[in-house]
Structures are given as C-alpha cells and as structure tokens.
Amino acid sequence: MGYRFFLTFPLNRVLIVIIAFLLDFIFGDPRFRFHPIVIIGNFIKFLEKRLLKGSHSKSKKKRNGFIMAAVVSVLAFAVTFLIIFYSFKLNIFLGNIISAVFLFFMICNGSIISHSKRITANIEGKNLKKSREEVGKVVGRSTGHLGFGELMRASVESIAENTSDGLIAPLFYYLIGGVPLVVLYKSVNTLDSIIGYKNRRYFDFGYFSAKFDDILNFLPARLTAVVSGILSFVVGGKVKETFSVIKKYSSRHESPNSGYPEAAFAGALGLKFGGTNYYFGTKKTSKYIGIKKKDFKVEDIGRALKLSILTSILFMFLVIILYLLFSYIWYL
C-alpha cells in the first residue's frame, strides 16, 4: 500500500479537511485581492452594474437577478472543479494541496475567533467607538447608536449565525460534493450578503439569490442547532432545556433558517436574542428568541465562541468518520 492510497478519493477527503482546519486555525481568514470570496464578490459587483438599472421593471429585475445567481454559482462551481481536476492531473500532491487551500478559504473559524477577540478587548476596555466599529464588521445592522449591551447581543447572534453559514454549511457541502460544491455554496452566500437585502434596490433583483441561499442553508442550519444543542453543557447550559428552546423559538426568526442556530445558542447560554435593530436607517423589530436567565455580559462572547469552535470540530470529526466508513465500503 503506497502513499497514493491516502492521497486519492475517498481517503484524501479526510486529509484535505484536516489540513484546511489546521490552516484556518493558524492563519485565520486572510483577505487579499486573490482570495476566492473577494474575487466572487468583485464579480458580483461587476455583473450588478450591468444587470441592475433603476429604470428596469420589477419583472426584468427578477429575471436579471436569476441570471446573475445562475451565472455566479455555476461559474464558481465549474472554475473550482476545473482548477482542482487539472491540478490532480499535474500532480497528486498539488491536487490535494490546492483542494485543502480552497476549503481553508471557505471556512471561518479563524476569522470568528479574531473578530470576537477584538470585540471583547474593546468592550472590556470601555472603548465604545471602536467596539461599534468592530461589531459593524460582522453584522448587517447599524451599530453607530448601540450601547455595550446591544453590541454584546449583536456579537453573540453573529457567532451563532456564522457557525452555521461559515462552518457547518461548508463542511456539510464538502461531505456531499467536495470542494467545488462548497465554493458554489459560498458564492450563493456571498450573493445573498451583497444583493439579498429586502430594500427598494434589491428586493426584486436579489430575490432568487436570497431564496437560493435559504434552500442551501435549510439542512446546515438545523444540523448546527442539533450539534450545538448536544454540546450546550460545555458552556453551562442544559441539553434538554436547549432543545426545548430550539423547538419553541426557532421558527420565530424572520429567516427560515437563522432561528435554528440562534435558538440553540440562546438556549445554551441562557440569553434572549432579538428585539429592535436598525438597517440602513430603517427600524426593524424582530421577535424574541430564547429565555432570559441573565443580562448580556462580555464573557458571553467567549462562551458563544467556545460553543461555535467545539460545534465545528465535532461536526468535522463526524465528516471524517463518515468518509472513513465510505472508504471502507469503497475498498471492500
């Protein structure tokens, strides 16, 4: 049995995910002009300038929005597939390295950790202006008027959502379709984050991007709730109570998916999410999620971060186990 046995499908999938996680924990999420997500984001903005005009009718905006979502997602998958396919043709080591690097760029444990630490440091230092700036980098709501308590809530809610969008979902799509499917998922996620807003400009144009994102996040959001609910005891929560909160409150979120990870984290941490937020100057009040056992404290950001990291690690091990089982069947 040579080294190629471990560097070819399906066993190499185990090696790739381990390397990607190690790279993420070591280097975080280095954003530069050739980062795949940056390239996808720039491509989306390029197409937006050509496909979205103020003079367009609602139906034309929807049609063009569908074209944009289809072009971006299909190209993201196809380009990634071809790069990985031909890198394996050139050299088996190169193929695995490029696959691991691509997956590393698609997961965000490192960025969640670094952002959370900066937010925590500024809140502990009572630097309200800097705290608002740092929280504003990870949430869509306006933060310029928020006090420390609301900044903590926004941070913890962001960690819960990013655990699903940035960790569990990429791992889930890696499990069922490899790296190209992960890049497709992240391209749709990026589309939603740029044009998925329900405002005058994007309501029709971003309709299909938002719906596609909802579909792709359906299972990952619920898997995140299950795994983080099981691990709730590591942050002082009770598993039974956490699943009770998930069952009762997960459907209260406006999003068909975001309520699940948020309810799981709210239940595990004994906090209540939701309330009044401002988006681009517009007031928006959401239903409350969770049962308030305590006020938000800066330590809750660290507790949420711990739950997020452990949730991703446990799910990664589940992915590895499933690939090992698949490998055993494959080589029978």
pLDDT tens for each residue of the chain, 332 residues long: 567 888 899 999 999 999 999 999 998 878 788 899 999 999 999 999 999 998 899 999 999 999 999 999 999 999 999 999 999 999 999 999 999 999 999 998 888 999 999 999 999 999 999 999 999 998 888 888 899 999 999 999 999 999 999 999 999 999 999 999 999 999 999 999 999 888 888 999 999 999 999 999 999 999 999 999 999 999 999 999 999 999 999 999 989 999 999 999 999 999 999 988 877 777 888 899 999 999 999 999 999 999 999 999 999 999 999 999 999 899 87
* Phi and psi at residue 286, to the nearest 5°: -110, 155
Q: How many structural domains is the chain composed of?
A: 1
The DSSP code sequence of 139-199 is -SS--TT--HHHHHHHHHHHHHHHHIIIIIHHHHHHHHHHHHHHHHHHHHHHHHHHH---S
| Boundaries of domain holding 302 | 4-330
As a whole number of angstroms, the longest Cα–Cα distance in the chain is 65
Contact present, 119 and 301 (Cβ < 8 Å):
yes
Which letter does DSSP use for residue 69 in this model? H
Q: Which residues pair with 278 in a beta bridge?
A: 283
pTM here? 0.95
Which letter does DSSP use for residue 33 in this model? T
d(CA 90, CA 79): 17
- Specify the DSSP element, H or E, that contains 289: strand 282-289
- Nearest Cα neighbor of 112 from 39, 50, 165 is 165
Q: Which amino acid is at 178?
A: G
- Nearest Cα neighbor of 135 from 125, 294, 147 is 147
Q: Which residues pair with 282 in a beta bridge?
A: 279
Torsion of CA 59, 61, 66, 72, to 10 degrees: 170
* Long-range CB contact pairs, 262-265, < 8 A, 24+: 262/157, 262/160, 262/161, 262/289, 262/290, 263/225, 263/289, 263/290, 264/160, 264/224, 264/225, 264/226, 264/228, 264/229, 264/232, 265/156, 265/157, 265/159, 265/160, 265/163, 265/228, 265/304, 265/307
